[in-house]
Structure 1
Amino acid sequence: ILRQASPRSLVLLDEVGRGTSTYDGLSIAWAAAEHLVEESQCFCLFATHYFELTELPKQKPKMQNAHFDAVEQGRHIAFKHHINPGPANKSYGLAVAQLAGVPRPVLGRAKQILQSLENSDKKKTVKVAPIEMDLFNEAQAQSAEDAQSLLTALETTAVDELSPRQALDLLYSWKQNFGNI
């Protein structure tokens, strides 16, 4: 895309730099956006979660920010199909994670980490509060035991010696026995 785009191109990009480290991904996305505006001069819709990229229109007048409406009602969120000019004023990552079915303990921990990250000075080392665990919680102990059992089963299974049907049966068995880890 970066090599072939021209002023006659319509380019749609989503999450450029995803799957890399934060700064690698941000750098790749930033450079790609600049290239498309300066070199290719194409019309591009560039979806990203890198909030830092919302600063680019200040340096590149041909760039513009836009975002979709979202309506919050209590703990619920609804995304609308209306585009507004300018950057989003809020991230909805945790709300989207909740919609995707991420378990409550994970969401709770994510909120703690997010708060630590937002409160930390970006030039200093980020200090995130450790996970507080009840070491005597029976459910946690059982879950840890189940996880260890599953790990042992995975390590001792001769995958290359299983038929496709045996492998499928084994997966179903593991899901039934360890599905609540």
Structure 2
Amino acid sequence: MVEMTEMAYILRHAGPSSLVLVDEIGRGTSTYDGLALAYACALDLATRVRAYTLFSTHYFELTQLPELAPSATNVHLDAVEHAGEVTFLYQVQAGPADRSYGLQVARLAGIPEPVLHDAQTRLAQLEEHNVRPLSRFVEPDEQIHLFGQMTTNLPAQFLEKIRQLEPDSTSPRDALALLYELRALIDSPDDAPALPREPDTHRVD
């Protein structure tokens, strides 16, 4: 709550002559909430507020921000890793970081080795199943663009039914029937039967 209050004050009162320092906004929320908040705040600072801002974040996806705000620039603090150990050089380099050093920092902080070993094993499993930080493990042509057009693998019938939906004239009964129908399309897109809808006796055409 404190960080949100502070950010609200910044967005309301900062201007082009302001210096704004932001450290890990959104860390107190769930993954997607935090990412969405960090993105929206960074974009507003860069495009509307236009304050000189240093915005640190662990969300790799935010390195795409310069695509929408040309005044934004990615920089990172350089580090060197050798034999599982990391040395931070404290030198600012152009461009986004190419990876995270969370496990190495945890080791420096004194996290027990068995815990680190379990974390490394779990990290390898997440990477294998593509549940991973985007910028580190995805090739550029495969990168998911947070700010670009969304794509989907939903069945064509699903999308068509959504397009044909008229929310203002759909009764609660019809909406519930449609929800079951859409669920059936996702579960069995090739042979999902269309569920019958009961007439709405309360709707006036």
TM-score band w.r.t. shorter chain: 0.5 to 0.7
Structure 2: distance between partners of 1:10 and 1:41: 10
TM-score by length of 1: 0.64
Unaligned runs of 5+ in 1: 123-181
Q: Is 2:102 the counterpart of 1:109? A: no
In the alignment, the residues of structure 1 paired with residue 66 and residue 43 of structure 2 have an alpha-carbon distance, to the nearest angstrom, of 10
Is the aligned partner of 1:96 residue 2:115?
no
User: Of 33, 45, 50, which aligns to 1:36?
Assistant: 45
The aligned amino acid for 2:55 is F
2: CA distance between counterparts of 1:117 and 1:93?
15
Question: Counterpart of 1:3 in 2: which secondary structure?
Answer: helix
User: Residue in 1 aligned with 2:75?
Assistant: 66
Per the alignment, residue 21 of structure 1 pairs with 30
Structure 2: how far apart are the matches of 1:84 and 1:39? 27
Task: Show the counterpart of 1:85.
Answer: 94
CA distance in structure 2 between the aligned counterparts of 1:116 and 1:7, rounded to whole angstroms: 45
Residue 69 of structure 1, CA deviation: 0.8
Residue 8 in structure 1 maps to residue 31 in structure 2: no
Which residue of 1 is the match for residue 54 of structure 2?
45
Give CA deviations for 1:54-92 in whole Å, capped at 9, x if unaligned: 111122211110001101232221111210000011111
SS in structure 1 opposite 2:12?
Answer: coil
Secondary structure (helix, strand or coil) at the match of 2:80 reads strand
4+ long deviations beyond 4 Å: none
Structure 1 residues 120-146: Cα deviation after superposition (integer angstroms, max 9, x where no partner) = 245xxxxxxxxxxxxxxxxxxxxxxxx
| Aligned-pair CA distance for 1:49 | 0.5
Count of residue pairs the alignment pairs up: 122
CA RMSD of aligned residues (A): 1.2
TM-score, normalised relative to structure 2 = 0.57
Distance (Å, rounded) in 2 between the aligned partners of 1:97 and 1:106: 10
Q: Does 1:119 align with 2:167?
A: no
Cα distance, 1:12 vs. partner?
0.5
State the 1:24 CA deviation: 0.7
Letter of the 1:51 counterpart = F
**Alignment identity in percent?**
52
* Cα distance in 2 for residues equivalent to 1:67 and 1:23: 23
